[in-house]
Amino acid sequence: MIEVRRLKKSIRNGARTVEILRGIDLMIPKGQFVAVMGASGSGKSTLLGLLAGLDSPTEGEVVLDGVSIGGLDEDDLAEVRGRRIGFVFQSYQLIPTLTALENVMLPYELNATGNARGRAEVLLEEVGLRDRMQHYPVQLSGGEQQRVALARAFVLEPPIVLADEPTGNLDSSNGQHVLELLMERQRESGTTLVLVTHDAQIAERADRRIHLVDGLVVADELQTAAAAEPLR
């Protein structure tokens, strides 16, 4: 589902070149839940941005669901992002002038035809927000906003969902609840999930852990079945 070939990313800082990713090769099969770990500055969020097509690599290639995204023009790249990728951000990224329901409906209305409202209502009920659909983001708690973001990410049933520290702004109780919902949706839909985190407990729930240090993969481990048990 995701293939990364010799991926490098560097930026210029004055006369100096800073290497963020220094040559990464990955194969992530359909339906796998992968946790990407690493300290600040290790390159994990940069990697996620490159997978999403939000940034371009200095060298290398990203292939999503059989499509190499490096040579796509902006319209084609936007179509790939709209139809094949769902996003869950640490800071929620909800549109403040839209209700919870309208935020979830938006990707559907932009990228598909059909009953956007019905699909959005079902997902919001599944994440426990049946009575909050007409509320605006400012009227929702952080945990509720992130649940809206989860529903939005899955509204088009994308084959790939990318999550960047999705529990980072939440307390432990809300964070665990959001993680459980995210994993439940991923299992039910068969989505390939790549989640960036610095939390070892969250990473233990994944099928696979990838650890970055200074822009390189230093560990790539499949998890045992016991690791899938809920957090205590």
Instruction: Name the pairing type of β-strands 216-222 and 208-213.
Output: antiparallel
DSSP 191: -
Q: C-alpha distances in angstroms, 39 versus 43, 46, 173?
A: 8, 13, 23
Structure token digits, residue 101: 């329901």
Q: pLDDT tens track of the chain, all 232 residues?
A: 899 999 999 998 888 999 999 999 999 999 999 999 999 889 999 999 999 998 999 999 999 988 899 889 989 998 888 889 999 988 999 999 999 999 999 999 999 888 999 999 999 999 999 999 999 999 999 999 999 999 999 999 999 999 999 998 999 999 999 999 999 999 999 999 999 998 898 999 999 999 999 999 999 999 875 444 544 4
Can you spell out the DSSP letters for 36-77? Answer: EE--TTSSHHHHHHHHTTSS--SEEEEEETTEE-TT--HHHH
- Superfamily (CATH H level) for 31-53+80-225: P-loop containing nucleotide triphosphate hydrolases (3.40.50.300)
Prediction pTM value: 0.91
C-beta of residue 183 within 8 angstroms of C-beta of residue 167: no
Nearest-angstrom CA–CA distance, 42 and 37: 9
Spatial separation of the C-alpha atoms in residues 21 and 7, rounded to whole Å: 7
The pLDDT score that the predictor gives to residue 231 is 46
Q: Is 182:127 a contact under the CB 8 Å cutoff? A: no
Sign of CA dihedral 77, 154, 179, 229: negative
- The residues spanned by each domain of the chain are 31-53+80-225
Beta carbons of 195 and 33 less than 8 angstroms apart:
yes
Q: Taking Cα atoms as reference points, which of 82, 42, 85 lies closest to residue 62?
A: 85
